[in-house]
Amino acid sequence: MSETIRQTLARASAALAEVSDSARLDAELLLCQTLNCTRSRLFSHADDTLNAAQATQFEALLARRKHGEPVAYLLGHQEFWSLRLAVSDACLVPRADTECLVDWALSLPGDALQVLDLGTGSGAIAIALASERPGWRVSASDASAAALHIAQRNAQTHKVAVNFAHGSWFEPLAGQRFDLIVSNPPYIAEGDAHLADLHHEPQSALTSGADGLDAVRHIASHAPAHLHAGAHMALEHGYDQAQRVREILSAQGFQTITTAQDLAGRDRYTHAQWKGA
């Protein structure tokens, strides 16, 4: 027998409870995707029944979500900084925590800063900054051509100009210097238990060596050659890595090193200034 919207949502949210902290919302978003409608329409039409094609399509999405695939991949988009960004499994799903880093970057004075986002993924940080500061010249690199393709599409959608460069970290940016470098690099230690929940996302965007800090060390050691005197850098990191990140930055000669917190109050990113060699 065909189910109503109400019945489908009840069954799907029960089925998702063990894999998701937001089972009901996930079920609603997947059903909106199937029916091509808004969430409010699900409630105003709760007694409508799904036809066979809709039921089949919804079950396929539900099965993928039950298997741990992020809702953002199933919908093909994610909200970040009030921008709807296209995402695929070639890039990390942008996290709300990373908006704190964007917020900090926007507090910097200057109408014409040259900015670099390393490992841009979906382009989230670069595009948020470019959309808020049309005068800034924003560049962004990524080692993944597939991720850059998504980022380029997002920049076009939001009508911002970002100079995308294909290559690992600073590799495609030889000779270029910036006023601000930002990055949400991979920072999870290889073998970390948390990775089991993230197995649909690209491992290259998540893990970085035995302690998770290989990318941070690489960026910190190469950044001075790409920063003007007085320039700033901000790197996202794990909640328990702040002390080690500060030590890495300090050892490279960065100054005024400060850690700031995410929405949950956990240490989430550290910024520092490069006063010059």
* Residue 205 Cβ vs ligand GLN, minimum distance, rounded to whole Å: 6
Closest CB to ligand GLN among residues 156, 243 = 243
Closest CB to ligand GLN among residues 58, 187 = 187
d(CA 5, CA 10): 9
Check binding of 184 to ligand GLN (CB under 6 A).
yes
Beta carbons within 8 Å of 61's beta carbon, 6+ residues apart:
30, 33, 34, 74
Structural tokens at position 191: 């073998």
d(CA 56, CA 52): 6
d(CA 242, CA 259): 7
Structural tokens at position 149: 């393709």
Stretch that binds ligand GLN, among 13-21, 44-52, 182-190, 226-234 (CB under 6 A): 182-190
Site string for ligand GLN, 67-96 (x = CB under 6 A): ----------------------------x-
Binding test (CB under 6 A) with ligand GLN, winner from 188, 220, 233, 272: 188
Check binding of 186 to ligand GLN (CB under 6 A).
yes
Check binding of 206 to ligand GLN (CB under 6 A).
yes
CB 8 within 8 A of CB 15: no
Closest CB to ligand GLN among residues 142, 179 = 142
Binding test (CB under 6 A) with ligand GLN, winner from 178, 187, 269, 274: 187
Closest CB to ligand GLN among residues 117, 179 = 117
Q: Which long-range contacts link 65-73 to residues 24+ away (Cβ below 8 Å)? A: 65/16, 65/19, 65/20, 65/26, 65/30, 66/15, 66/16, 66/19, 67/19, 68/19, 68/197, 68/199, 68/200, 69/200, 70/200, 70/201, 71/26, 71/29, 71/30, 73/200
Closest CB to ligand GLN among residues 46, 96 = 96
Structural tokens at position 229: 């005197």
Residue 121 in marked binding region: yes
Residue 184 in marked binding region: yes
Interface residues with ligand GLN (CB under 6 A) are 95, 184, 186-188, 198, 206
Point out the annotated binding site for substrate.
184-187
